[in-house]
Structure 1
């Protein structure tokens, strides 16, 4: 593993500053190998480290990963319990290495439904890495885009009701200040692995002008090389944000 003091390689010209990834395909990866779905989730967790460590190579400062959605509670009790155990183990195991690599970790999503031990570990990891700034890793855990907007709207409405915000001042720049991601730039590139071509309730507001890449690779097979290729391809796109190029 590189250290935070190591020189940062030259970034991909015009590459994305913020990449968000829907890490899909762990279960299918395991099934193809005749193994239980949790085996695939463990393999996927190992892949996270490689991609995080490769971010400086491609000039990526912000990486947001979709770890567990508000809809994932519908999975079997065995799989959900296994995932929660995996999250606790991952945080406990990776805190030191993430900090040494210069990664600042944040969590987004509704923590209310998570168990107290996991919440405690999440808070401790955020605190332990708060001084870092080489890479900003955001982990979406019990996260859903619609749920996030609903929670943000409640906070905004409360501020209006209590006189802290004038309704006439509410515009499209106001709501983002209430979102879980209010301290982050919007994603430039959103990647979904596993061949599915949908966004699955991920960063709905923030990704309004993001570029998308839907790839067939299952998440445990997603490599640094493929990540670099997608970042390079982003650099070649003509991003006009609704304007006409003259």
Structure 2
């Protein structure tokens, strides 16, 4: 039986987040430069997005470039930015064909001007698509995001717009870059590494974590479906006991 046929489409996670890891190692194993892995990772992105639409995932967030990645060799960063521009140009049609809305989170002002412009063009062009929202985390780190939220709240307290006692989890969440999308229920990381790496720390509080040894350039929609099948076999208790869940 096809793994896709085992998935209950009525119990899908609304939001899946992915750390696309292993491009560099995959390239190195083949005697190539790291950028070779990043280029081959584009096919994985395309197939995963199409798979998400096919199965019915409404929100998909990909960790594309962290704030720490700016510290990589300049040649690799330049190649990554050029690849990002070219990929956005080429893949906008794929997004339109699949009804995918493009979104982006992170310190986007750090992106090169050309990259930022292409990103905005693609987001505007796909803004009315409703099948799935694809969010790219670019120049992103969760600590940066939470710090920015705290800064915004502090300014509102100083201006008298809000009272410190009014600040709760909902207030913090509304000041995060993901304020318009639900928290992920499933987070997938490729390449065998088992850590979150400063990714959506607030939003992943109750997410199920799924780790696979597949390198990102090898990841395809069937790997996404396998992660979804595993997710559906887990018991999500949110601090309750199994017995309490049965009673509910």
> What is the TM-score with the length of structure 2 in the denominator?
0.93
Aligned mate of 2:161, from 157, 161, 164: 164
Aligned mate of 2:99, from 97, 102, 118: 102
Number of residue pairs the alignment of both structures matches: 237
Structure 1: segments with no counterpart, 5+ residues: 1-9
Shift of 1:100: 2.4
Aligned mate of 1:155, from 141, 152, 160: 152
Shift of 1:80: 0.4
What does residue 75 of structure 1 align with? 72
Moved more, 152-161 or 16-25: 152-161
What does residue 88 of structure 1 align with? 85
3-state SS, counterpart of residue 9 of structure 2: coil
Aligned mate of 2:233, from 218, 236, 242: 236
> What is the 5 A alignment of 1:11-160?
12-160=9-157
In the alignment, the residues of structure 2 paired with residue 96 and residue 219 of structure 1 have an alpha-carbon distance, to the nearest angstrom, of 23
In the alignment, the residues of structure 2 paired with residue 177 and residue 219 of structure 1 have an alpha-carbon distance, to the nearest angstrom, of 32
Structure 2: segments with no counterpart, 5+ residues: 1-6, 244-248
Q: Write out the 4+ residue segments of structure 1 that deviate beyond 4 Å after TM superposition.
A: none
More helix by share: 2
Shift of 1:189: 0.4
Residues 95-125 of structure 1, C-alpha deviations (whole Å, 9 max, x = no match): 1221221000100000121111111111111
